[in-house]
Copies of this chain bind each other. A is one copy, B any other.
Amino acid sequence: MSSTLAPSGIDPATSPARALVCRACSARYPLVAQHACYECFGPLEVDHDTAALAAVTREQIEAGPRNIWRYAGLLPVGQDPATRVTLDPGFTPLVAAPRLAAEVGLTAPLWVKDDSANPTHSFKDRVVSVALTAARSLGFTRFACASTGNLANSVAAHAARAGAPSVVFIPSDLEQGKVVTTAVYGGDLVAIDGSYDDVNRLCGELVETDEFEDTAFVNVNVRPYYAEGSKTLGYEVAEQLGWRIPAQVVIPMASGELLTKVDKAFAELVEVGLVEAPAGGWRVFGAQSAGCSPIAAALHAGSDTIEPVKPTGIAKSLNIGDPAAGPYALEAVRRTGGWMAAADDDEIRAGIRLLARTAGVFAETAGGVTVAVLRTLVESGRLDPTAETVVFNTGEGLKTLDAVAGQAGPSHRIKASLRAARDAGLLG
């Protein structure tokens, strides 16, 4: 079934999705398992019927479950709860961070959208729930992915909950926290000697084989559906702010897709009348690791071309050297008047600790990147310190413990006695 024009199992009577459309040449395709345009090889995106989206009301959403499926009317699949393959992620906390704001020099409200609260503790649960629900509707019986770690955790956990087989492909140098947390769910886990980009390339070949005909690779053959799941982060931020779009958002970039989909979510909310367009619009900022910053480099060079890089550095979940949505992330940042910056490993570690100390949120390296870039953007004058800002923490510090383990240990070690406590200065 993969990459064919077989009849779609996505029902236009319940889904607002109407077609897959090429982001490059606008060619249209039915709602099947296909991710690249036959005309120009551009990436495909789900096109929705605007009238169907506009029929969704705030009241319907607010009466829905406290997870991503409250937005089912704005998603391509999952309108019928019985069709969902899901851990019910989403509606994660939007945490006020006044002390972080003070430390980085913001005078306007600052919020942390904390997606470590998802079931497998990253934002990937959102995209996997949408991708696998689409996959089941399209007839697939096995679930797969190429992953830098968080996606692996999520696909394996979703498959376990659903009782379906899974096969997950990862680079062999991943953090132990992400390897164990995938393998424990019992599916196949294939470690590849190579980078994420090598893993992704191999999956692109496997998906074309007969042996994988029954297999949905969430970020390959059902990628257009998968990507739509990221919109829920944007919807939630707006709803949690009282149906308002913030003036500025700072978003980590791996493929760049999350950034483009948060921007798309804001645009959709305005287009269908769920929120008013904010005066002055919104500005989208992208954060990369200095060890893998091809999108930021293109922006800084004033180029439209993303030059692939060989990733290095501790922010492994962002280490995609050839980012598929890079050009679209560039476009969104330029169109909205945002900017991009990169953080080196020391800045990432400092960002993790700063966020923990000031907001009580323990982020993985990607969150450290975002907080470090927030600081850089304020210092460089690119981000307006007087405008409301939301930073996105997309993952959990427990998955990348090694990043800060050397800097976060006991402040004292003593024997179990009052005298020892006194000698250690704990009694003044």
**CB distance A163 to B99 under 8 Å?**
yes
Q: Return chain B residues, CB-CB under 8 Å to A353.
A: 184, 186
**CB distance A408 to B183 under 8 Å?**
yes
**CB distance A416 to B184 under 8 Å?**
no
Known A-B contacts A359-B161, A362-B157; the reply to A421 vs B202 at CB < 8 A is yes
Q: Does A428 contact B (CB under 8 A)?
A: yes
**CB distance A414 to B190 under 8 Å?**
yes
Known A-B contacts A185-B360, A409-B183; the reply to A399 vs B397 at CB < 8 A is no
Task: Output the residue of A180, A353, A401 with the most chain B CB within 10 A.
Answer: A180
**CB distance A410 to B185 under 8 Å?**
no
Q: Does A404 contact B (CB under 8 A)?
A: yes
Encode A339-358 as 1/0 by CB contact (under 8 A) with B: 00000000000001100111
**CB distance A410 to B357 under 8 Å?**
no
- Bound CA span A211–B426, Å: 8
**CB distance A184 to B360 under 8 Å?**
no
Q: Return chain B residues, CB-CB under 8 Å to A418.
A: 202, 205-206, 209
Tell me the minimal C-beta distance from A210 to chain B in angstroms: 8
**A: interface residue count bin:** 35 or more
Q: Does A25 contact B (CB under 8 A)?
A: no
Query: Which of these binds chain B: A191-199, A246-254, A315-323?
Result: A191-199
**Which residue in chain B gives the minimum CB-CB distance to A198?**
B416
Q: Does A88 contact B (CB under 8 A)?
A: yes
Q: Does A4 contact B (CB under 8 A)?
A: no
Encode A189-230 as 1/0 by CB contact (under 8 A) with B: 111111000110110011001011000000000000000000
- Bound CA span A353–B180, Å: 11
Q: Return chain B residues, CB-CB under 8 Å to A170.
A: 410
Q: Does A176 contact B (CB under 8 A)?
A: yes
Q: Return chain B residues, CB-CB under 8 Å to A95.
A: 161
Q: Return chain B residues, CB-CB under 8 Å to A413.
A: 172, 190-193
Interface residues of A in 140-163 (CB under 8 A from B): 157-163
Q: Return chain B residues, CB-CB under 8 Å to A176.
A: 401, 405
**CB distance A181 to B362 under 8 Å?**
yes
Q: Return chain B residues, CB-CB under 8 Å to A58.
A: none
- Bound CA span A244–B404, Å: 45
**CB distance B119 to A185 under 8 Å?**
no
Tell me the minimal C-beta distance from A424 to chain B in angstroms: 8
Known A-B contacts A117-B117, A180-B405; the reply to A192 vs B416 at CB < 8 A is yes
30 A-B pairs, CB-CB below 8 angstroms? Answer: A87-B360, A93-B119, A99-B163, A120-B362, A157-B356, A160-B356, A163-B358, A172-B413, A176-B405, A177-B401, A183-B410, A183-B411, A184-B356, A184-B408, A185-B357, A186-B356, A188-B411, A188-B412, A189-B409, A189-B412, A190-B413, A190-B414, A190-B421, A191-B413, A191-B414, A192-B413, A192-B416, A193-B415, A199-B416, A398-B398
Interface residues of A (CB under 8 A from B): 66, 87-88, 91, 93, 95, 99, 117, 119-121, 157-163, 167, 170, 172, 176-177, 179-181, 183-186, 188-194, 198-199, 201-202, 205-206, 209, 211-212, 352-353, 356-360, 362, 396-399, 401, 404-405, 408-418, 421, 424, 426-428
| Seed contacts A184-B397, A193-B414, A193-B415; 8 additional CB < 8 Å A-B pairs | A93-B119, A162-B360, A176-B401, A180-B409, A184-B353, A184-B356, A188-B411, A192-B413
